[in-house]
Amino acid sequence: MEARKISCKEIISAVKKLFMDCNYFIGDDILSALKTAKENEQSPVGKSVLDQIIENDILAAKEEIPLCQDTGMAVLFVEYGDKVFVEDGSFDEAVNEGVRQAYRDGYLRKSVVSDPVFDRVNTKDNTPAIIHTKIVSGDKIKITAGGKGFGSENMSAIKMLTPSYGAEGVKQFILDTVRAAGPNPCPPIVVGVGIGGTFERAAQLAKKATFRPINTENPDKRYADMERELLTEINKMGFGPAGLGGNTTAIGVNIETSPTHIAGMPVAVNICCHAARHASTEI
């Protein structure tokens, strides 16, 4: 099979559109979960908060403006077909150019600093993006992208559990992490969980889990049950919408897993606010 040529221009314009779209238009999965939550919310304040969040998300889509001021750090999961040849430049540079153009032309916030500890100077174009690339067979590039806000990112945690902790230990760590986050990550939240792999794979899977629509479940029934059970337990915590009390603290728990080492059972919990933004495209 011959290589399929793709131009940088095509990648730039696809990435640009993904980031503008995901910041303006909340996913149907989130909006419909918010509407259901509003019906079931017991706290009057919680109900009113959900009402305002729904109104906000509809308004943002109508006016094509970001639904949250934290338009996030640009994160992309890429499935890169091994028959694809980018003919006039590098893939990563094209992705970063797409991010640059989206954040400039789409009136998104530039939230990235160059050095984490000492300089902390804003790069003024929201680059560099966090790009997770997996080479797959085929002649297409599939991209799932999202702007990840840091109010919730800061509430995330990873723990290197060991096998004897079992399913109970996994659930306990997830619940402890959500409880510690409390009202801070803009509840109702989406909880992304990565279990297995190595230290960094678990974290990557947790992020990937936050990008999976919340109206889907893990294909393995045991993990799907765990997702449902955790959602129920989290909603008993009482934090509620905006942390002001109520029975809607989370609207989704997504678990992704990976084979791991005989000695290990890493668990990463990536918390995402109700503005769980993601969009996909195929080139």
- The residue among 124 and 261 lying less far from another protein, judged by its C-beta, is 124
Does residue 68 interact with another protein by CB under 8 A?
A: yes
Q: Which of 12, 49, 73, 226 binds another protein (CB under 8 A)?
A: 49
Report the alpha-carbon distance of residue 80 to residue 137 in Å, rounded.
Answer: 8
Figure out which of the listed residues 20, 33, 131, 275 binds another protein, where binding follows CB under 8 A.
275
Residue 158, phi then psi, degrees to nearest 5: -135, 145
Among 81, 146, 243, 266, binds another protein (CB under 8 A): 243
**Which neighbouring-strand residues pair with 110?**
none
45 touches another protein (CB under 8 A): yes
Residue 184 interacts with another protein (CB under 8 A): yes or no: yes
In the sheet with 141-148, reading across from the earlier edge strand, the strands are: 130-136, 73-81, 141-148, 279-282
The DSSP result for 174-215, as a single string, is HHHHHHHHTTTT-SSEEEEEEEEE-HHHHHHHHHHHHHS-TT
Choice from 72, 192, 240, 252 touching another protein (CB under 8 A): 240
Binding piece for another protein, criterion CB under 8 A, among 79-87, 106-114, 213-221, 253-261 = 106-114
Is 238 among the residues that bind another protein (CB under 8 A)?
yes
Place of tokens 């797959």: 136
Instruction: Give the separation between CA 187 and CA 141, rounded to whole angstroms.
Output: 34
Q: How far is the CB of 52 from another protein (least distance, A)?
A: 5
Q: Which of 2, 119, 120, 221 binds another protein (CB under 8 A)?
A: 120
Which residue, 80 or 239, is less far from another protein as judged by CB?
Answer: 239
| Cβ-proximal residues to 241 (8 Å cutoff; 6+ apart), any chain | 37, 41, 43, 45, 46, 47, 49, 50, 53, 187, 188, 248
Q: β-strand 189-197 against 250-260: which pairing, if any?
A: parallel
Tokens of 164: 């004897």
User: Any contact of residue 175 with another protein (CB under 8 A)?
Assistant: no
Contact call for residue 35 and another protein (CB under 8 A): no
Residues in the site for another protein, rule: CB under 8 A? 42-43, 45-46, 49, 52-53, 55-57, 59-60, 63-71, 107-111, 120, 122, 124, 151, 154, 182-186, 236-240, 242-247, 273-275
